[in-house]
Amino acid sequence: QSVLTQPPSASGTPGQRVTISCSGSYSNVGSDNVYWYQQVPGTAPKLLIYNDYRRPSGVPARFSGSKSGSSASLDISGLQSEDAADYYCAAWDARLQGYVFGSGTTVDVL
């Protein structure tokens, strides 16, 4: 059972906006940065968002992150077919003294 909770699935048509939530607690999301990963089956996870909302070089601007209290969100605006993948949130957990990942959300582009 994951420390961070995400909805198992989300979907949208091309051009739509999709939002994925990540719910944690005071010891992780509520007290430290949140990170978001995209994983296409058969490949390594790819960092999309770091430090709550920052994008690494090369990540499209349609991906954005936000946080409020112990919950965070990843928004994908202008959904594209290549966005079909699994998405994971992650954070440092001060109580466990380690990084924890979310349960993962599979995004389908209809």
Partner 1 sequence: EAKVVESGGGLVQPGGPLRLSCEGTGFMLSNYWMHWVRQAPGKGPVWVARMNEDGRRTDHADSVRGRFTISRDTARNTLYLQLNSLRAEDSALYYCVKDFVGPEESWGQGTLVTVSS
Is residue 2 a contact partner of residue 102, using CB atoms and an 8 Å limit? yes
Nearest to 86, CA basis, from 24, 8, 4, 3: 8
- C-beta of residue 42 within 8 angstroms of C-beta of residue 50: no
Binding partner 1 by CB under 8 A: which of 10, 29, 100, 109? 100
**Out of 29, 38, 88, 109, the residue judged to bind partner 1 by CB under 8 A:** 88
**33 contributes a contact to partner 1 by CB under 8 A:** yes
Closest approach of partner 1 to the CB of residue 84, in Å: 17
Query: What is the token pair recorded at 83?
Result: 């966005």
Q: Phi first, then psi: what are they for 94, rounded to 5°? A: -70, -30
Cα separation, 58 vs 76, in Å, equals: 15
Question: Please, which of residues 3-32 interact with partner 1 by CB under 8 A?
Answer: none
- Segment near partner 1 (CB under 8 A), from 14-22, 23-31, 54-62, 69-77? 54-62
Binding to partner 1 in span 34-53, by CB under 8 A: 35, 37, 39, 44-47, 50
Q: Which is nearer to partner 1, 2 or 77 (CB)?
A: 2
